[in-house]
């Protein structure tokens, strides 16, 4: 089973269950495990080189995060993707992204800024839409980390994952993706300047504009 675009997976310091969670999460988010596909713990564990226990624990977390569903007497499946849910996920994300950017501007250190800079450098050279989406998700997750609030990070990560599944599904229809992602530069500059109010403003505007553009595309193809 391919595992492209894995974000930070298989780090040796992580517990096996955490490693399994990160790998399976990314396979689901990038649709390498297709929506609606049957998930067999034993088969998945073999493909990852892991036992059933860490995979089972990972799947329990992914059920809570609405990436996996379990039907009694039927089995475990990758959750379906409904493009109309993008608006619902962004309703949650937009204000909380502003809060995360605010806190990142307050708490990000030099190593954080360097990591964000490296991601933006990759964004500037990448052309493939799926690779761009992967870099975008990594940038957002790094901003959440910089916010230094584990509850905020967990909540935003969950809704980011749900949003990204929709974007991977319609990757070829995402309008002006390179240009949109280039706007992350302004968010980074606000964080680097330790300007919380500006960081919040640009982070909220960034997603609000993207939501309007995506809604127009999705409605035109409904």
Express each pLDDT in 15-37 by its tens digit. Answer: 899 999 999 999 999 999 999 99
The region of weakest confidence among 49-58, 110-119, 211-220 is 211-220
% of the chain beyond a pLDDT of 70: 92
Section 156-174 average pLDDT: 93
Question: Residue 117: inside a domain, yes or no?
Answer: yes
CA 177 to chain centre: 16
Helix or strand run (H / E) with residue 70: strand 68-71
Rounded to whole angstroms, the Cα distance separating 78 from 65 reads 12
Question: Residue 123: inside a domain, yes or no?
Answer: yes
Based on the fold, state whether residues 99 and 160 are members of the same structural domain.
Answer: yes
Rounded to whole angstroms, the Cα distance separating 81 from 6 reads 20
Q: Is residue 61 a contact partner of residue 20, using CB atoms and an 8 Å limit?
A: no
Q: pTM of the predicted model, to two decimals?
A: 0.89
Based on the fold, state whether residues 31 and 107 are members of the same structural domain.
Answer: no
CATH of the domain at 178: 1.20.120.530
Question: Residue 10: inside a domain, yes or no?
Answer: no
Section 153-178 average pLDDT: 91
pLDDT band of 172, cuts 50, 70, 90: confident
Residue 10 has pLDDT above 60, yes or no: no
Question: Residue 7: inside a domain, yes or no?
Answer: no
pLDDT in tens, 194-218: 999 999 999 999 999 989 888 887 7
Based on the fold, state whether residues 160 and 184 are members of the same structural domain.
Answer: yes
Based on the fold, state whether residues 88 and 163 are members of the same structural domain.
Answer: yes
Section 147-161 average pLDDT: 98
Based on the fold, state whether residues 68 and 162 are members of the same structural domain.
Answer: no
Domain extent, residue 119, equals 83-220
Based on the fold, state whether residues 140 and 167 are members of the same structural domain.
Answer: yes
Domain count, the chain: 2
Of the candidates 78, 95, 122, which is a domain's last residue? 78
Three-state SS at 204: helix
Based on the fold, state whether residues 121 and 212 are members of the same structural domain.
Answer: yes
Rounded to whole angstroms, the Cα distance separating 98 from 216 reads 23
Based on the fold, state whether residues 133 and 91 are members of the same structural domain.
Answer: yes
Q: For residues 36 and 10, which has the higher predicted lDDT (pLDDT)?
A: 36
pLDDT in tens, 45-55: 999 999 999 99
Question: Residue 98: inside a domain, yes or no?
Answer: yes
Q: Is residue 99 a contact partner of residue 53, using CB atoms and an 8 Å limit?
A: no
Of the candidates 78, 103, 129, which is a domain's last residue? 78
Based on the fold, state whether residues 50 and 119 are members of the same structural domain.
Answer: no
Based on the fold, state whether residues 145 and 196 are members of the same structural domain.
Answer: yes
pLDDT band of 183, cuts 50, 70, 90: confident
pLDDT band of 171, cuts 50, 70, 90: confident
pLDDT band of 2, cuts 50, 70, 90: very low
CATH of the domain at 42: 1.10.10.10
Section 163-173 average pLDDT: 91
Q: Output the average pLDDT for the chain.
A: 90
Q: Is residue 52 a contact partner of residue 59, using CB atoms and an 8 Å limit?
A: no
């Amino acid at each position: 089973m391919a595992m492209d675009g894995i974000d930070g997976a298989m780090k040796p310091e992580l517990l096996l269950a955490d490693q399994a969670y990160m790998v399976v999460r990314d396979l689901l988010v990038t649709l390498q495990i297709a929506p609606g596909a049957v998930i067999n713990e034993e088969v998945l564990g073999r493909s990852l080189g892991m036992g059933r226990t860490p995979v089972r624990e990972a799947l329990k977390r992914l059920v809570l995060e609405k990436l996996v569903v379990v039907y009694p007497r039927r089995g475990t499946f990758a959750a379906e993707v409904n493009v109309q849910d993008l608006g619902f996920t962004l309703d949650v994300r937009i204000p909380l992204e502003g809060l995360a950017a605010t806190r990142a501007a307050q708490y990000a250190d030099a190593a954080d800024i360097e990591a964000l800079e490296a991601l933006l450098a990759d964004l500037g050279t990448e052309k493939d839409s799926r690779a761009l989406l992967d870099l975008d998700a990594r940038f957002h997750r790094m901003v959440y980390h910089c916010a230094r609030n584990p509850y905020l990070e967990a909540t935003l990560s969950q809704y980011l994952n749900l949003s990204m599944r929709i974007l991977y599904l319609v990757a070829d229809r995402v309008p002006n993706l390179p240009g949109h992602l280039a706007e992350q530069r302004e968010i980074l500059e606000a964080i680097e300047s330790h300007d919380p109010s500006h960081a919040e403003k640009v982070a909220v505007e960034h997603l609000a504009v993207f939501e309007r553009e995506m809604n127009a595309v999705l409605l035109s193809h409904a």
